[in-house]
Structure 1
Amino acid sequence: LIENYNYKQIKIDDSISSIVLDRYIKALDPSKYYFLASDIKEFDKFRTSLDDDFKNGDLSVPFYIFNVYLKRYNERIDYSMAQIKAKYDFNQNDTYVYDREKMPWITSTTALDDIWKKRVKYELVNLKVTGADATKNIETLTKRYQGLKSQAAKFNNQDVFQILMDAFTEAIDPHTNYFNPRNAESFNQEMSRSIEGIGATLQLDNEVTKIVSIVPGGPAFKSKQINAGDRIIGVAQGENGEFEDIIGWRIDNAVSKIKGPKGTTVRLKIIPVGQDMSTKPVIITLVREKVILADQSAKKTVKTVNSDGKPYKIGIIDVPGFYADWEAARAGDKNYKSTTRDVRLLIDTLKNIDKVDAIVVDLRANGGGSLPEAIDLTGLFIDKGPVVQVKEYNREVSVNSDKDPGAAWSGPLGVMIDRLSASASEIFAGAIQDYGRGVIMGTQTYGKGTVQRVISLNEMIDSSILQKMMSAMAANKAKTNTTTVKENKNTGTVTIVKDGVPQLGQLNLTMGKFYRINGSSTQHKGVVPDFNFPSIYPLDKIGEDTEPSALPFDVIKPSNFQSVANLTDVKANLLKLHNERMAKSLDYKILEEDIIESKKRDGETSITLNEAKLKAERDALEAKSYERLNKLRASR
């Protein structure tokens, strides 16, 4: 698939094998805290053989490397736990180097011990500076390291394979990605902005599954029996199913038991918030439903600004992603959820009820999503016409257009972008800029101008192979409409099974490149705003142009389109007014100072272990923060 259909059409050879090995090692130990130089030297003998191993289906080398990593990890945690109760002199002028990425690998266990002892000392002095007593600090740090060891013990073959495939696919290009079955499920839920389950966000807290928040309108919310902070210690399926104790489970395994198809029943054993774990649990029965993730959907706010003594109402539409529930659409649901449908309703409210004078579409931190949604959303602000061009892996170019005449909003329009705006966000912002339909404000975008196709690996595998896998597992005793985790007790390997069929995950394969209607690629370069704002994100560390395997920027023939307006004079006047306001803005000045300070801190790799010096640094930062806050209050 990758050799023949990736846009680069690159051959998997020894050079790719070398890159994969380096990426895999870096993914496991990015700060060089665990592996020794001798380990790295040993791994080097595999440098040019991984490509052949992959083609032969042999993953023994990557799993061997991971097992060495896990051994080193546990050695470091055990050593650190033994150092927590040691006596430390917090008046010494020593330092702890916390960022070792650019430093050489440690050559001896003794040297590694020294680094980890300093790490423990840093964590203790950090706790000490906050004011807690020594006994409490030892207890806190001991629990922290016990938690780290417990989480490492929960790693399985699916996790290791995911890390390996990330190293492999990102050696080809940054956006060809493999998703194991769990991650594939999460990816598709994010695209649809909906899940089927009880409507609660969960996390692991001291080996117990805790409810962090509850989605309004979901089964948990409507039951009025479940609250944030409650702990789930057991799960049973249906009215009469046997309870499974889930204490100590990985959070994804616990979630898989709690989630399920709408209309099915799940029973939970709950320890209510504030109650001791020895309290008799409450049993709550819920019927799962399809839950809309409203907090991850487009939403609006209205702000009033004054200009020349006249108030103007500005409608701000926050678009966190380009999503669409394609499964619901294919099933014939006329009310299926999508970005364009949500934004159309918001525009209608802003226009007819809020009576706004202008609209700003906020795409900051919007990493993209559905290409059709980017095209349809653009169509809400233009009459009709081309929106984006796509060059496929076979180098054929197609033009994707908005064919629906008429615009939902034809008034003044602004688009907010930042360095984290990517992909579909860049398509929308680029089209609005090319048409002269609105002004673009913010910082240069990410520059992710590649097209990925989602390929289910189950659909690519010969059905007879899947049948053999099913026959080898107990999962085929009864076909159920649920996702389960099957663990082989002999090998320790984990298989995700859905409806009795082993799940293989999915591949998001880069098969094309996006081009603006003016012919410029959004790849590598992104969208440059009309009005540039200071960036809180370091442009030299975040963005497509920082990725070694990224495709280059290039230009093709422009589409045939007619711009709405020439905004050159308008932009020049707005820029003049903007600069005049910012010259008088204390907020703007403080933001620029914060960015300078952040860049300075970003270059630091070590920190003092001297308690008095550390406290003085913290106190100075706190005093500076209070001083700024008082200045801002006085300026209001």
Structure 2
Amino acid sequence: MKFTRLAAVPLIALALTVPLGLMARADGDALPGAPSAEQVTTSKLVYGLLSDSRYAYRPRPLDATMSAEIFDHYLEALDGGKLFFTASDIARFRAYEKGMGESVRSGNLEPAYTIFALYKQRVADRVGYARELLKQDIFQFTGDDRWEYDREDAAWATDAAALDGLWKQSVRNDWLRLKLAGKKPDEIRKTLDRRYLNLANSVAALDQEDAFQSFLNAYTSTVDPHTDYMNPRTAKLFTQSMSLSLEGIGAQLQKQDDVVVIRELIAGGPAAISGKFKPGDRIIAVGQGTSGAMEDVVGWRLDDVVEKIKGPKDTQVRLDVVPGEAALDSKPTRIVLTRARVKLEEQAAKSEIITLPAPASGGVDKRIGVIKLPAFYQDFEGRRTRNGEYTSATRDVSRLLEQFRTDGVDGVVLDLRNNGGGSLNEAIELTGLFIDKGPVVQVRESGGRVSVEGDRTPGVSWDGPLAVLINRSSASASEIFAGAIQDYGRGLVIGETSFGKGTVQNIVPLDRWPANEGDRYGHVKLTIAQFFLPGGSSTQNKGVVPDIAFPVTVDASEFGESTYDNALEWRQIAAVPHQRYGDFAPLLPKLEALHAARVKQDKEFQWWTADVAEFRAEREKKYVSLNEAERRAERDRDAAKRERRQEERKALGLALDPLADTNDDGLQASERDIAEDAAREKAAEKRPDPLLRESAAILADAVRLLNNDRQLSAQVLPASTGPGVWAQ
């Protein structure tokens, strides 16, 4: 299949594969044997795109090696925990292994669908067994049994009897968690029976489209870890997440058993403005316009219901709603709403100011502005069509910096923890807020051609002290920004070594080649280049190493680019000329010493460090005990520790932990009271954050040191008159 050269489409730099989780469709049924014409065409299109060196950064031949990898990735997508298939099932599937590549190339998807159909049957078998276990007398917890939950490297169970043993321990662990949470046997049995039945119903309703998307992603992930296929619906959700806006009623929805429930109302949205909804309300029917038929949506998959509720702004939708406290068969209230464009403000950049008291040796308090940026978002379509009115991470951060200048803060910390990336253009423009023109990223294409992208706009939005806070989940666009700031000597980088994703993707709509006016074939998020920092180093695999390091929360062997077996290797190319505003090397030992001395006295930082060490030790075990006395003792120790810390917070005048009284309730998210769970989620956002405060303190230390020591300042910031002149 031939392709014309790709037109310009948004460049993105995401940390992880877009989640394409398998979910049940409302109209799901047994998988038909033959793929649809659209699926055959899509499979061929995806193969043509990824095998062409003009587009894919690292194209791979569909040979026997790749076929084996597709086979393994597909099984991992279906049964990564190795809890459904047996070794004999895998042996049966081996007949398809060598032909997986040809299946993609030709669109012959019957092998994938056959495996998927057996997966559905095996889930039904396992759930049936689990539900029968609930009727048995197996819930005594006095021995040395344990549930070994980490099965990534385990062998496939030899037979059904071996799976029975695994599932027995899993069910017993589920039961024990609920028992420790104070639930009675009848309540536990009811909760778990409903949980397992929901799993069975969800998987039973999976259809051909679910199998198709999972199989194509087994192929794309063999090319590289960040190339994905997105069907039309998934692509639409991706665009929505990047633009931070949607057209609909403005409500966050969640599936609970067979019903879609309102979890949260989005401020300014039609649902919130109406005053007729509250968290926990259940939507049982949806109708279009003022007269469209009401469709009963009980039992539907969540995204099917969302698709019915969303729609173009200024159109109407009718909802039949039953309050959360009423019986589901109660008479519903019919509510008519006019859809609108809703901004997802909760996911946008936010700011706060941290005041740090002067040290005992003298001086003045320092006020450090903090900007939390969860993603490098941009409304691609809005930028193209709305005459300059579009959502942009850089624009939002610029407005916050302007407010900081008005407030007279002494420095700024940009918090990029857990920021997985987003728009490459936003990373470049955001860097431009802090440097006065210059290269930000070098982009190397598959043929070896290197282009330099940078800030071409003179002037800055913030020319004062700057720090960037990162962790292992800071990836891609976050790494471009943090790495560029480090290369320029423009600010301090604090935290953990970042994820290590140094590749760039394009979103490619597949409908462009068949000249189709609709949206039938979906999109491919395609790796097209590798990026390098101005200094020539790639962040690939190695990540950005902080100037001041905090304790490691997760090891590089467990999470990050280095854990992918087919990740690109680290490389280095020639540097491009760029200004160095400062050199923090002479300052770092002094900052390290002050940091070490301070955290020895910082209870919250010490608690966090201890919790990290405990968490990592528990992860190393890869199992939990099924001895009730042992588990109860652990639970009591944890509760006592939280209570003791809360008392210490009171004595020291520290902010209290709003979740200090929260114990493991043994429930899944869909089993909790939604309103209470949403409130707990909000409370978690207000928990003390010792890492953020310590980052602000480190920046304040740097400001004081440079202000008070002219010789040191001359070393760190030699004769600079541009951004980075911290000494005042």
- Give, in whole Å, the separation in 1 of the partners of 2:626 and 2:445: 55
User: Residue type of the partner of 1:548?
Assistant: D
CA spacing shift, 1:572–1:609, aligned 2, 3 Å: closer
User: Residue type of the partner of 2:459?
Assistant: G
* 1:539 CA drift (Å): 2.6
Runs (5+) with no aligned partner, structure 2: 1-48, 654-728
- Give, in whole Å, the separation in 1 of the partners of 2:265 and 2:588: 45
State whether structure 2 residue 250 is matched by structure 1 residue 233: no
Structure 1 match to 2:470: 417
- Give, in whole Å, the separation in 2 of the partners of 1:236 and 1:51: 44
Structure 2 match to 1:336: 390
* 1:634 CA drift (Å): 4.0
Runs (5+) with no aligned partner, structure 1: 467-500
8 A Cα contact 2:556 2:562, kept in partner: no
Structure 1 match to 2:625: 608
User: Residue type of the partner of 1:442?
Assistant: G
8 A Cα contact 2:553 2:616, kept in partner: no
Match of 2:546 among 529, 533, 546: 529
Map 1:308-327 onto structure 2 (within 5 A).
Answer: 308=359, 309=362, 310-327=364-381
* Secondary structure of residue in 1 paired with 2:188: helix
Structure 1 match to 2:126: 76
CA spacing shift, 1:502–1:587, aligned 2, 3 Å: closer
* Residue range with higher mean Cα deviation, 419-428 or 573-582: 573-582
Structure 2 match to 1:447: 500
Q: Deviations over 1:167-198 (max 9, x none)?
A: 21111111111112221111111111111111
* Secondary structure of residue in 1 paired with 2:587: helix
CA spacing shift, 1:549–1:584, aligned 2, 3 Å: same
8 A Cα contact 2:77 2:214, kept in partner: yes
8 A Cα contact 2:142 2:629, kept in partner: no
Identity value in percent: 41
User: Residue type of the partner of 2:234?
Assistant: N
- Give, in whole Å, the separation in 1 of the partners of 2:582 and 2:624: 54
CA spacing shift, 1:386–1:101, aligned 2, 3 Å: closer
Structure 1 match to 2:82: 32
Q: Deviations over 1:399-426 (max 9, x none)?
A: 1110110001101111111111111111
State whether structure 2 residue 641 is matched by structure 1 residue 591: no
Structure 2 match to 1:54: 104
8 A Cα contact 2:232 2:519, kept in partner: no
Map 1:297-446 onto structure 2 (within 5 A).
Answer: 297-308=348-359, 309=362, 310-352=364-406, 354-446=407-499
Scaled by the length of structure 2, what TM-score is found? 0.80
CA spacing shift, 1:212–1:333, aligned 2, 3 Å: farther
User: Residue type of the partner of 1:30?
Assistant: G
8 A Cα contact 1:441 1:529, kept in partner: yes
- Give, in whole Å, the separation in 1 of the partners of 2:479 and 2:58: 22
- Give, in whole Å, the separation in 1 of the partners of 2:505 and 2:151: 34
State whether structure 2 residue 670 is matched by structure 1 residue 622: no
State whether structure 2 residue 567 is matched by structure 1 residue 517: no
- Give, in whole Å, the separation in 2 of the partners of 1:233 and 1:368: 37
* Residue range with higher mean Cα deviation, 146-155 or 509-518: 146-155
8 A Cα contact 1:439 1:571, kept in partner: no
- Give, in whole Å, the separation in 2 of the partners of 1:100 and 1:525: 27
- Give, in whole Å, the separation in 2 of the partners of 1:605 and 1:385: 48
Match of 1:576 among 593, 600, 622: 593
8 A Cα contact 1:17 1:48, kept in partner: yes
State whether structure 2 residue 272 is matched by structure 1 residue 217: no
Q: Deviations over 1:459-517 (max 9, x none)?
A: 12244xx8xxxxxxxxxxxxxxxxxxxxxxxxxxxxxxxxxx35221101111011000
* Secondary structure of residue in 1 paired with 2:621: coil
Map 1:534-545 onto structure 2 (within 5 A).
Answer: 534-545=551-562
Structure 2 match to 1:207: 258
- Give, in whole Å, the separation in 2 of the partners of 1:175 and 1:552: 14
8 A Cα contact 2:289 2:316, kept in partner: yes
* 1:448 CA drift (Å): 0.7
- Give, in whole Å, the separation in 2 of the partners of 1:612 and 1:579: 39
- Give, in whole Å, the separation in 1 of the partners of 2:341 and 2:139: 57
* 1:631 CA drift (Å): 4.2
Match of 2:522 among 501, 505, 508: 505
Match of 1:108 among 159, 162, 166: 159
Structure 1 match to 2:233: 182
Q: Deviations over 1:337-379 (max 9, x none)?
A: 1011111111111111x22111111111011111111111111
* Residue range with higher mean Cα deviation, 222-231 or 289-298: 222-231
Match of 1:136 among 184, 187, 191: 187
Structure 2 match to 1:17: 67
* Secondary structure of residue in 2 paired with 1:112: helix
* Residue range with higher mean Cα deviation, 160-169 or 565-574: 565-574
State whether structure 2 residue 189 is matched by structure 1 residue 172: no
* 1:570 CA drift (Å): 2.8
- Give, in whole Å, the separation in 1 of the partners of 2:555 and 2:332: 49
CA RMSD, aligned part only? Answer: 1.6
8 A Cα contact 1:154 1:250, kept in partner: no
8 A Cα contact 2:104 2:216, kept in partner: no
8 A Cα contact 2:435 2:460, kept in partner: yes
Q: Deviations over 1:245-274 (max 9, x none)?
A: 101100010000000111111111111232
* 1:111 CA drift (Å): 2.3
8 A Cα contact 2:139 2:172, kept in partner: no
* 1:89 CA drift (Å): 5.0
How many matched pairs? 599
* 1:578 CA drift (Å): 1.3
User: Residue type of the partner of 1:586?
Assistant: K
Structure 1 match to 2:296: 245
- Give, in whole Å, the separation in 1 of the partners of 2:139 and 2:412: 59
Structure 2 match to 1:482: none
